[in-house]
Amino acid sequence: MRRKLDLLGLVLVNGMWAGQFVAATLAERSLGPLAVTVYPMLVSVLLLAFFLKRERAAAGQHFFRPQLLSRKTLGRFLLLALFGMVVAQLGATAGVYFTLASTASLLTLTIPIFAAILGVVMLRERLTWMRAASFVLALTGAALISHLGTSTLRGLSTRYLLGDLLVLSSCAGSAFYNAYGKKLLQDFSELELLFYSSVIAVLFLLPITVIREGVLPANFHLGWSAAGGLIYLAVFHYTLAMVIFLHILRRLEVTVVAISFYLIPILGTVIAAIGLGQHIGRLELVGGLLVFAGTILVTIYDAGAASKTGAPSAPGVGNVLVRLPEERVER
């Protein structure tokens, strides 16, 4: 019974992550991309502080760790927050300001491929033919999803292409968060990484948001749909989805968790169709299948690596960094 509840919870979590693009689209009817990014994150930081306090208290430890003040650790958190959290969240939110939520959902399939390439660049892992082929397939698929070439004839390329590139930068940022954040997992829990990197991201983005967009726009009128989008991002996407996910992860096999991430683009396109009336065409479908094929290739390779390291990366925009408990690592 518990396993069935965990599986249902996993579907629910992926649904929460999948809905972020529609929520951001609705919120951007009243606010700019910066505000839609930073204000939900600010609320999320307060909520995450509550959950982190409970986690630390259960372990009989203080909320704040003194090693955070060391230059090396602080530098790592700064890199993690700026090049991971800020790029991932701002890229996703700003991306749907220019492109379609359904298109953005399909592009999230590129995250495992970006993670594999970063493994070659950052961790000096071997560039296999599977990784090279997956990257080529992903680039081809992303070009088809973005209507690169055909949209130029219709005068649509500039706006949509900019949005798609921003979403792809978000996927790369999420992959960087997963790859680089593993260094900090030796001393900090996943929830601590999420909380402290979010705090730094908010401190960085909030002044820029106020300068660029103001505290509130001059013609501010927050409708119900926009307010709902902001609440969804703050409570469900940034906070509850992560807390529930980390709780479920302690009991489910890592392979089951990894497979469930493929629900994100599927659910994302369904939610975009229902909530915004957006549908994917044949070209986007072919592109999505190519990216999916590339993702399968790189997942097959990384499946062996994950069983050795016990640290799979979740392909969902939202900076999901997970670590398999030591006693469950396959030897």
Residue 11 vs residue 320, higher pLDDT: 11
Confidence of residue 319 (pLDDT cuts 50, 70, 90): low
Summarised one tens digit per residue, pLDDT across range 78-101 is 999 999 899 999 999 999 988 888
Question: How far is CA 57 from its chain centroid?
Answer: 28
Confidence of residue 327 (pLDDT cuts 50, 70, 90): very low
Whole-number pLDDT of residue 140: 78
- Judged against a pLDDT cut of 80, whether residue 27 lies above it is answered with yes
Summarised one tens digit per residue, pLDDT across range 205-224 is 999 998 888 776 555 667 88
Confidence of residue 150 (pLDDT cuts 50, 70, 90): very low
- Judged against a pLDDT cut of 50, whether residue 151 lies above it is answered with no
Question: How far is CA 15 from its chain centroid?
Answer: 13
- Judged against a pLDDT cut of 80, whether residue 144 lies above it is answered with no
The total domain count for the chain is: 1
Between the CA of residue 110 and those of 100, 164, 189, 324, what are the distances in Å?
Answer: 17, 12, 26, 23
Confidence of residue 255 (pLDDT cuts 50, 70, 90): low
Question: What tokens were used for 179?
Answer: 């790859």
Q: pTM of the entire structure?
A: 0.79
Whole-number pLDDT of residue 9: 85
Summarised one tens digit per residue, pLDDT across range 269-310 is 888 888 888 777 777 778 778 777 777 776 665 554 444 433
Helix (H, G, I), strand (E, B) or coil at 161: helix
Instruction: Choose among 86, 11, 3, 5: nearest CA to 241.
Output: 11
Q: Are residues 110 and 171 in contact, defined by beta-carbon separation less than 8 angstroms?
A: yes
Helix (H, G, I), strand (E, B) or coil at 313: strand
Summarised one tens digit per residue, pLDDT across range 96-114 is 988 888 888 888 878 877 8
The span from the CA of 149 to the CA of 234, in Å, is 37
Q: Give the DSSP letter string of 225-278.
A: HHHHHHHIIIIIIIIIHHHHHHHHHTTS-HHHHHHHTTHHHHHHHHHHHHHH--
The span from the CA of 4 to the CA of 21, in Å, is 28
Between the CA of residue 131 and those of 2, 117, 157, 297, what are the distances in Å?
Answer: 37, 7, 29, 7
- State which residues form the domain around 220: 2-328
User: Residue type at 49?
Assistant: A
Across the chain, what does the average pLDDT equal? 78
